[in-house]
Structure 1
Amino acid sequence: MTATAPLPPAPLTRALDLIGNTPLVRLEGPSAAAGCDIYGKCEFANPGGSVKDRAALWIIRDAEARGVLKPGGTVVEGTAGNTGIGIALVANALGYKTVIVMPDNQSREKMDTLRALGAELVLVPPTKFANPGHFVHTSRRLAEETEGAVWANQFDNIANRKAHIDSTAPELWSQLDGRIDGFTCAAGTGGTIAGVGLGLKEKDENVRIALTDPHGAALYNYYAHGELEAEGSSVAEGIGQGRITANLDGAPVDTQFRISDEEGLHWVARLLREEGLCLGLSSGINVAGAVALGRQLVAEGREAPRVATILCDSGFRYLSTIFNADWLCEKSLPVFDWLAD
């Protein structure tokens, strides 16, 4: 008897339904390194190319439901880029304008994408959160000064983490047939790790939730020692946090790992050369954290543990940075061997 191919899914009724329901893939190299199954949620498959599409949709729908975003209005946000891209696409689909404030040290690809999507892009110098010129504070002021505008406020708007409670966590649970031992990712706003953590803990309290923190962020020390203290630095975009945002408040973090840029780039290189996945540095850092979590669970004697993480966005968004030999040399980071040649 000849096997028949499965039928393709029915067509969706609108483009915004493309957000979410992303594939989950077993990562061969990380699984071998951890001694257990490591899975990556392919968030680069969202229409805006990143995990931040989920937060963008939930934040805008929440603003509509609360009556603060009216037809023809404007959504203003401060972002490292990916949330802005998601907001611009969702806003376009729903008839809103977009103003995005971004630090001027983020990748050129993100800036060009935002302009191509029709967003008004405002670039500001990178600075500490305490500085009133910080991109978050600048975006809040612009929203207050713009008629008919709402401030998305992704860091402290818990519609962000609700996106992952409602969608990412149940998707992972279903895709892994209700058997998942650990989940880890880095925190930027905190929406993903808090939302997925809360959603998975509702299903099974024994799922271990781990923070994977880059150097230069303060959350590793917070969860390990109770103090917000940063050490070192990282060039990773969109992750790393120095405060407990509203989205992070109450996040069920059981353990924590600190991952260097070098280790993250190691996995970026391996996943590209060995598995055909072109990813950004935040994804590489997440995968390194997943390997660490998997090894921890194996060492504790868990039988064939399964660990999931987030593949945040595509490496094509970083051609001018981590895939540029001159840029890597300027940052004193290792150059991928194929770029060195």
Structure 2
Amino acid sequence: MKIQSFIGNTPLVELKTFDVPADVRILAKLEFFNPSGSIKDRIVSYIIDDAERRGLLKPGATIVENTSGNTGAAIAALAATRDYRAILTMPDKVSKEKQDALRAMGAQVIVCPTSAPPDTAEHYVTQARRIHAETPNSFMLNQYDNPLNAEAHFNSTGPEIWSALGRSVTAFVASGSTGGTLSGTSRFLKLKNSAVKSVLLDPVGSIYHRYFHEGVVDPAQIAPYFVEGAGEDHLAKCMDFSVVDDVIQFTDADAFDTCQHLAQREGLICGGTSGANVWGAVQVARSMTKPATIVTVLPDSGNKYISKIYNPEWLSQNGFKLGEARTLEPAP
């Protein structure tokens, strides 16, 4: 069997070392159990399968995509098994581990400045679109605006959570960049039970928090942050705010401090978005006044970030002091 056969049906584990009310549970889906190591395997296989069925992706084709690394890894892995070429653009904040893994699978990696404003020639999304336009027999997943992104989670992640927990699910909490995970999973869970709360986590420096609460996109608020794979500097069409009940901001420190907690108390070495997701799940859990089950996802493994968020020297150089974030503070 090819690696695609092992995508999905990832474990769901309960996190028990966080300070939340005794009758509130936090469960996390371990998405780094997917073959290429992240939740993005779900959408890449779904979109590629659809493109092949419709004749949009043909033998010998080149797959072009902009990525923060995990979508790229899924593309590179599947391209390697189906004789496609992969060209991937990414911002320069993406970890060296991610970049090296893509190259190891034969992908061409083009690194672009994180500071490049949206729609400029240097921006990694613009670069991908240009390469796609200039490359014959190429296909672009267009993960930020492709409705199949969310549909993949509606048809896999959501049903898996519901099958395991049913009506006990109180809230689904996740950070978002393309918005596919949160939108598709939340839409399915709300279809089964309209009372399920959907909470998006957005890093400081991203546009989604203010857009949700005020309907404003302010370019002046766009600022650099270190967490990879969360937040955005433009509105992704895949992000469906109609299924979102709240948006909570988090900081890099919130995410990275929670990553340390997960590693040292739960035995889970996870990426920055996992730390953000669990931090947010803790905040939602602390707001509950009756028994509840909060569900989130751990999108990828911390093995992709050893040189960064698990490196004391890197943390110190970038001004992070572990333990300063609010993850472990007692509930008020």
CA gap of 1:250–1:268, structure 2 versus 1, over 3 A, is closer
Tell me: CA distance 1:335–1:292, structure 2 relative to 1, closer, same or farther (3 Å). closer
- For the residue of structure 1 that corresponds to 2:127, the secondary structure is helix
Aligned match of 1:153 in 125, 130, 142? Answer: 142
1:78 CA drift (Å):
0.8
Stretch deviating more after TM superposition (33-42 or 161-170): 33-42
Residue 127 of structure 2 is aligned to residue 138 of structure 1: yes
The structure 2 residue matched to 1:48, chosen from 20, 27, 36, is: 36
Within the alignment, does 1:319 sit opposite 2:306 as a pair? Answer: yes
Contact 1:283/1:313 (8 A) holds in 2: yes
Residue 243 (structure 1) aligned with residue 234 (structure 2): yes
Distance of 1:317 and 1:304 partners within structure 2: 35
Does residue 1:38 correspond to 2:29, yes or no?
A: no
1:167 to 122, 133, 156: 156
Opposite residue 65 of structure 1, the aligned amino acid is R
Deviations 1:31-66 (A, max 9, x none): x43541001110011011111111111121122122
Give the Cα separation in 2 of the matches to 1:250 and 1:66.
29
Cα separation, partners in 2 of 1:34 and 1:330, compared to 1, 3 Å:
farther
Residue 121 of structure 1 aligns to a residue in which SS? strand
| CA offset digits 1:109-144 (Å, max 9, x no partner) | 001100111111112222121322211110111111
Aligned length: 320
Q: Calculate the TM-score normalised by the size of structure 2.
A: 0.92
TM-score by length of 1: 0.89
- Could you tell me how far apart the structure 1 residues matched to 2:222 and 2:17 are? 29
Q: Which residue of 2 aligns with 1:22?
A: 10
Secondary structure of the corresponding residue to residue 123 of structure 1:
strand
Distance between the aligned counterparts of 2:155 and 2:239, measured in 1? Answer: 16
1:225 equivalent in structure 2: 214
Runs of 4+ in structure 1 deviating by more than 4 angstroms, as ranges, are none
The equivalent position to 1:265 in structure 2, one of 253, 256, 261, is: 256
Partner letter of residue 70 of structure 2?
N
> How far, CA to CA, are the matches of 2:199 and 2:178 in structure 1?
16
Contact 1:102 1:122 in 2 (8 A): yes
Q: Which of 314, 320, 330 is 2:317 aligned to?
A: 330
Q: Which residue of 2 aligns with 1:304?
A: 291
How do 1:120-135 residues align onto structure 2 when only pairs under 5 Å count? 120-126=108-114, 127-135=116-124
Deviations 1:44-91 (A, max 9, x none): 110111111111111211221221110121111011111000111122
Mapped contact 1:228–1:242 kept (Cα < 8 A): no
Kept in 1, the 8 Å contact 2:255–2:272? The answer is yes
Q: Using the TM superposition, give the Cα deviation of residue 228 of structure 1 relative to its aligned residue in structure 2, in angstroms.
A: 2.4
In structure 2, give the amino acid aligned to 1:264: A
Q: How does 1:53-132 map to 2 (within 5 A)?
A: 53-126=41-114, 127-132=116-121
Mind listing any 5+ residue stretches in structure 2 that lack a counterpart? 325-332
Paired AA for residue 273 in structure 1: Q
> In the aligned structure 1, how far is the partner of 2:5 from the partner of 2:260?
32
Work out whether residues 257 and 322 of structure 2, in 8 Å CA contact, stay in contact via their aligned partners in 1. Answer: no
AA aligned to 1:276 is G
Aligned-residue CA RMSD in angstroms? 1.7
Equivalent-residue separation in structure 1 for 2:117 and 2:30 (angstroms): 31
* Conserved? CA contact 2:93–2:228, under 8 Å: no
